[in-house]
Amino acid sequence: SADGGTDLSLDSIPMGLPMSDPTAWATAMNNLGMAPMGMTGQPLLPDFDPALGMMTGIPPINPMMPGLGIVPPPIPPDMPAAKEIIHCKSCTLFPPNPHLPPPATRERPPGCKTVFVGGLPENGTEQIIMEVFEQCGEVIAIRKGKKNFCHIRFAEEFMVDKALYLSALAVMCRAAPGAALPSALCTGLSGSVGWRAVPRRMLAREERHRRRLEEDRFRAPSPPPVVHYSDHECSVVAEKLKDETKFLEAIQTLLTWIERGEVNRRTANNFYSMIQSANSHVRRLVNEKAAHEKEMEEAKDKFKLALSGILVQFEQIVAVYHSASKQKAWDHFTKAQRKNISVWCKQAEEIRNIHNDELMGIRREEEMEMSDEEIEDPSEMKETEESALVSQVEALKEENDSLRWQLDAYRNEVELLKQEQGKASRDEDTTKEQQMKLLQQALQGMQKHLLKVQEEYKKREAELERVREEKLKMETLLESLKEQESSTSRACSCSQEKECPVEKTLSTSPVRSEREVLLVGIISTFLHVHPFGASIEYICSYLQRLDSKICTAEVEVLMTRLQNTFRQELSGVGASLEKRWKFCGFEGLKMT
């Protein structure tokens, strides 16, 4: 088998062991009431009396008879294989009487890996059980009952069939030979419902133990016991109070002594000196706090400088992205490269805005801390972009809300001081009046600052509305100019047809000179290379490389005259509206 145990199938003689010990073999046959005889038929004990056997009334059995497993005859399919003596380290298993009926068994259910073992000897331990049944395969667990039975769980299902072969074998332990009669094993299949409860209880017990260990590990250790007061311990504590590293331990001991009632007339001077040492530690703590505050201010300044430097670098990076997005450089990139550049630009702008908000928050906190000084915000620079104005308006809203909250807090404090003013004495009235004056002055300053912020907020809103109105006016003006241009072009064409039909028939060609013919050919070749069109400035920049005297108006007039060759289209929305010229000569050839 796979686990190294003995094969216990019914087709072969299982667990066969050589009869090297004739005394044990003779004892087993004597217990069964058989004459002890060897393999060849000769008697092992010449003076054996069958009438003295343990099983009286059974005639002597010839060892050559079928069923004893010595010289087995052909076994019918419905008959089980004969069993032999099995020797172990701590016990010996003897085969049952072959004339007795076989033990009742039932069909093994699928997935069953547990067997029930009954009839264990009184002195049978788990070691003996493991020693007997580990020959059938790997044993996972043994659950021993209070009486002479147990449950054994194997690793595989086929090992259960091997364990059932050991049923009805007589077990005799060697620890106390002759102390008790051999007990017959009774193995059978066991259900798995009751068996599974044992691992659950074991796992729950282990989990509770593990949780208790974790709680003990994370529990704070109990403080050491405080020593009793004496002159020697008093001098030791006084020295520790002067040491910064041992001050906490010494002050705890001093507190415990005072609470115990160790202070009396004899020890009052010693306790006063220790309290004086504790008071001197206050100055050290104040100095230490001031040093930490100074370090914190320096760290804030360093962080602000580093953040401003990072913002400058972000501005440069965003400027690079914007310059790369312009048409002169944008047309030379591939589609994937344009997509990556646009994504990078958005990410850089978002990170820049986050850092800018953080820096503005730090500056606002500094302004709130400086209550006496008025910080003049540079309001001379006016941004024309709508997004910048909106962000400033939101920032002013937040500042307005924070100032309103502070104003409410100051008002509450003033009301509390007014309520407490009538209850205090005359000496306290003077100090409260001073506090009231200071609070009123601070309140007036905050009100003035709040009014300034509100005025600035209104100005920003008015400026934003004005910019929006100007934008709407520009859009309406642009639409009206387009309509006027189209109407004038139609009127001019109609008047020219009415006044001079003869000239129209004579001079039907829109190209008036050879120079214009050359320009039309060069522009057609250039626009044929750019199928998505190009702006008039881009076309003129290309033509001015050939001839610097060419102007934009001349090229635009020539292209408007050739409507079947060149077509003007509008692309974009709002501020990104752009005119592009495209070559349509192939389509115009079909139309003419």
Residue 117: enclosing H or E segment and its boundaries? strand 114-118
Structural domain span for residue 526: 514-590
Q: Which helix (H) or strand (E) holds 238?
A: helix 231-242
Give strand pairing partners of 150. Answer: 117, 144
Residue 420 falls inside a structural domain:
no
Q: Where does a domain end: 301, 319, 339?
A: 301
Same-domain check for residues 237 and 295? yes
The per-residue pLDDT for 3 is 40
Q: What is the pLDDT of residue 235?
A: 92
Tell whether 391 is covered by a domain. Answer: no
Q: Quick one: 279 and 349 in the same domain?
A: no
- Domain limit, last residue, from 174, 199, 216: 174
Distance from chain centroid for Cα 280? 50
In the chain, % helix, strand, coil (3-state, to 5) comes to 55, 10, 35
Regarding whether 319 and 254 lie in a shared domain, the answer is no
Please give the single-letter amino acid code of residue 532. F
Give the C-alpha separation, 153 to 140, whole Å. 6
Run of H or E residues at 95: none
Q: What is the DSSP letter of 58?
A: P
- Shared-domain flag, residues 239 and 165: no
For 53, half-sphere exposure in the C-beta direction (CA atoms, 13 angstrom radius) is 22
| Sequence letter at residue 107 | E
Asked if residue 326 and residue 279 are part of one domain, the reply reads no
Shared domain for 273 and 330, answered yes or no, is no
Annotate 297-346 with three-state secondary structure.
HHHHHHHHHHHHHHHHHHHHHHHHHHHHCCHHHHCCCCHHHHHHHHHHHH
The pLDDT of residue 139: 92
Low-confidence stretches of the chain (pLDDT beneath 70): 1-83, 174-200, 370-388, 422-427, 491-509, 574-575, 592
| Other beta carbons less than 10 A from residue 482's beta carbon | 11
| Pairwise CA distance, residues 396 & 497, whole Å | 63
Report d(CA 246, CA 159) in Å as an integer.
69
Is 38 part of a structural domain of the chain?
Answer: no
Query: Is 155 contained in some domain?
Result: yes
Which one of 125, 144, 174 terminates a domain? 174
- 544 and 563 part of one domain: yes
Q: Please indicate, yes or no, whether residues 88 and 165 belong to a single structural domain of this protein.
A: yes
**Alpha-carbon dihedral 270, 275, 280, 284, rounded to 10 degrees:** 120
61 φ, ψ (degrees, to nearest 5): -110, 135
| Domain-located, residue 275 | yes
Structure-token match 């009127």, residue found = 491
Q: What per-residue confidence (pLDDT) applies to 386?
A: 66
Same domain? For 235 and 253 the reply is: yes
Phi–psi pair at 472, nearest 5 degrees: -65, -40
Shared domain for 250 and 332, answered yes or no, is: no
Q: Is residue 518 assigned to a domain?
A: yes
Cα separation, 454 vs 403, whole angstroms: 11
What CATH number is given to the structural domain containing 530? 1.10.10.10
- Angle at 277 (CA atoms; ends 271, 281), nearest 5 degrees: 140
Pull the structure tokens for residue 152. Answer: 């054994």
pLDDT value at residue 38: 53
Torsion sign (Cα): 23, 28, 31, 33:
negative
Polymer length in residues for the chain: 592
Q: Tell me: do 339 and 309 sit in the same domain.
A: yes
Q: Which helix (H) or strand (E) holds 374?
A: none
- Is residue 21 included in any domain, yes or no? no
Q: Is 254 left (phi over 0), alpha (psi -120 to 50) or beta?
A: alpha
Judge whether 226 lies within some domain: no
For residues 114 and 142, membership in a common domain is answered with yes
Please state, in angstroms and rounded to a whole number, the distance separating the CA atoms of residues 8 and 23.
Answer: 26
Number of domains in the chain: 4
pTM above threshold 0.85: no
